[in-house]
Each structure stands twice: as C-alpha cells, then as structure tokens.
C-alpha cells in the first residue's frame, strides 16, 4: 500500500487540547441552526466529522439529534471524544485517516471539518475521500474559529520563525484559494453563508501564551528544528518581559465563526 504524505497527529498534546482550544457550544449550536435554516445541513441524518479531535464541533450535533461519526488519526484524541458521548446520543468516534475512510460510498448526509486540512499533506486525497462518501447534493462544511489563536505572543513567535526562513509551517493547505479552486474542480458549488456575528470573548495572559508555545502545543511550530525553536522561544520570552506588564500583560480578544460550504454536485436523493 502506498505511503501517505505527512500529517500532524495530535496524540502528544491530546490531554491539553480542550484546555487550550475551545469554541463555545452555544455559538456552534447557533451556527448549525443557521446552516439548517439555509438548507445546507439536514435537520437529521448522518454527519461525518473528519479530523474530529476531541469531538468539539460534532458533539453539539449529537446533542441536537444527529447521527455522528467522527474519525481522527489520533487514538488519544478519539479516546477523549468517546468519553464525552452521552448514552442518549448516537455518536461514534473511531481512528481513521481522512484520506482512507472505512465508509461506504454516498452514505453521508453532511461532512463537518474544522482545522484539519492545513495539517494533511496531500489534502486533495482527503477532499476526494470526503466527496466519495457524501451523498450528491449534500454539503462539506468547514467550520472556522477566527481570531482565537492569533494572540500577539504567538504572532511574535511566528514572525521570528518567518524571518529565519521557516515560513512554510503546515504540511497541508496553506491558502484558501487553492482549497476553493480544488473543490470547484471536483464539481462542488460554493455557498456563501455569513455566521461572523457569532462571536465570543477570550482573554490571553502573555505568560500563559508563552508557556503554551514552550509546551509545543501548536502544530504550526512542530516542524521547526529544536535549536531554532529554542532560540525563537528565548527571544520571545525577552520580548514578553519588555512589555509594560511583562508576562502578566493581558490581551482581550473577540473570536468569531466563519463557515466554508461546498455542495457536492448531482441530485439529492
């Protein structure tokens, strides 16, 4: 069997994932209710969550009454997702790579995906696989939480990495244009839906942001060599100390949701 291109398996940071990334459930529920009202997400049926991680974006759908099937390459992330499933929900979480899913052709009523494709080398195979399992006329929905991770400490670290020439930090999708063009080439229709009014508040303490980078919690920086990582981290720590309130400085942020919706060609039936 051919070897797959690199992909970022989140097992090493699974135990820390939910504490450091979160989208409020009520915002997600409001987003899904809007997608249902717009006719791109069915009120019932099977929803596949690709690269589901700890189930953050699909457990809400299970609570809303959908059948959910999540897949992730990380056994540790899947174990956490499974522990969150309530007995009355119809939700399963299993280990599988998005590029080789153990799912029958045209059997899924919607696909949700969040923060996956930047991590997957040969992401085009993943998209093809999701379109293979999706019924004609049904949608691939990418849910994005914007503005939640771009705190200034992380941006400072990233800018230093850029300056040292480590500016291609993801194995997968790097720009949205290529992603949209690929799906259009697969016969998908892009449907514009605005959910950017779904915002929330978040505060970031610089010292904690720095500690999270030190813990190597962000896959964006996993591909930096250790020596460069240490140098950039030390420089970023000095920069944090120079701020007026040093590591106690707080940044208040207002993240928001966006969605990318692609309808698979063919008649629904």
CA separation for the pair 205, 151 (Å, rounded): 9
Cα separations (Å) of 244 from 206, 211, 240, 250? 11, 19, 9, 11
Q: Which of 47, 93, 97, 135 binds ligand SAM (CB under 6 A)?
A: 97
Q: Contact 259/35 with Cβ under 8 angstroms?
A: yes
Q: Which of 46, 53, 221, 259 binds ligand SAM (CB under 6 A)?
A: 53
Q: Which of 69, 74, 142, 236 binds ligand SAM (CB under 6 A)?
A: 74
Whose CA is closest to 14, among 69, 100, 73, 90?
A: 73
Instruction: Considering only the stretches 32-40, 91-99, 174-182, 225-233, report the one whose residues sit in contact with ligand SAM under the rule CB under 6 A.
Output: 91-99
How many residues bind ligand SAM, per CB under 6 A?
A: 23
Alpha carbon 93 to its chain's center = 16
Residue closer to ligand SAM (CB basis): 67 or 79: 79
CB of 51 to ligand SAM, least distance (A): 3
> With binding defined as CB under 6 A, does residue 80 bind ligand SAM?
no
Q: Using CB positions, name the residue nearest to ligand SAM.
A: 53
Q: Which residue do the tokens 């398996």 mark?
A: 9
First to last CA, the chain: 34
> With binding defined as CB under 6 A, does residue 220 bind ligand SAM?
no
> Could you give the count of Cα atoms lying within 13 Å of 50 in the half-sphere of its Cβ?
31
Residue closer to ligand SAM (CB basis): 51 or 207: 51
Q: What is the binding site for ligand SAM (CB under 6 A)? A: 7-10, 21, 51-53, 56-57, 71-74, 77, 97-99, 114-116, 119-120
């Amino acid at each position: 069997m051919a070897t797959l291109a690199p992909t970022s398996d989140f097992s090493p940071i699974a135990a820390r994932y939910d504490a450091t990334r979160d989208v409020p459930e009520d915002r997600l529920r409001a987003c899904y209710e809007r997608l249902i009202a717009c006719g791109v997400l069915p009120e019932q049926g099977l929803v596949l969550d690709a690269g589901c991680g700890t189930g953050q974006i699909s457990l809400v759908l299970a609570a809303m009454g959908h059948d959910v099937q999540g897949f992730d390459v990380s056994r540790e992330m899947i174990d956490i997702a499974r522990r969150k499933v309530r007995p009355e929900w119809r939700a399963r979480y299993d280990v599988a790579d998005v590029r080789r899913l153990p799912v029958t052709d045209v059997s899924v009523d919607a696909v949700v995906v969040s923060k996956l494709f930047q991590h997957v080398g040969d992401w085009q195979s993943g998209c093809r696989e999701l379109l293979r399992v999706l019924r004609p006329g049904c949608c691939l929905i990418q849910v994005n939480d914007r503005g939640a991770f771009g705190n200034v400490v992380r941006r400072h670290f990233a800018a230093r990495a850029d300056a040292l020439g480590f500016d291609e930090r993801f194995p997968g999708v790097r720009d949205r244009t290529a992603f949209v063009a690929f799906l259009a080439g697969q016969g998908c229709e892009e449907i514009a839906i605005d959910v950017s009014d779904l915002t929330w508040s978040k505060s970031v303490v610089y010292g904690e942001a720095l500690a999270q980078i030190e813990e190597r919690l962000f896959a964006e920086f996993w591909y930096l060599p250790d020596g460069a990582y240490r140098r950039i981290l030390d420089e970023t720590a000095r920069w944090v100390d120079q701020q007026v309130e040093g590591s106690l400085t707080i940044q208040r942020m207002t993240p928001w949701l966006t969605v990318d919706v692609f309808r698979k060609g063919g008649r629904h039936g």
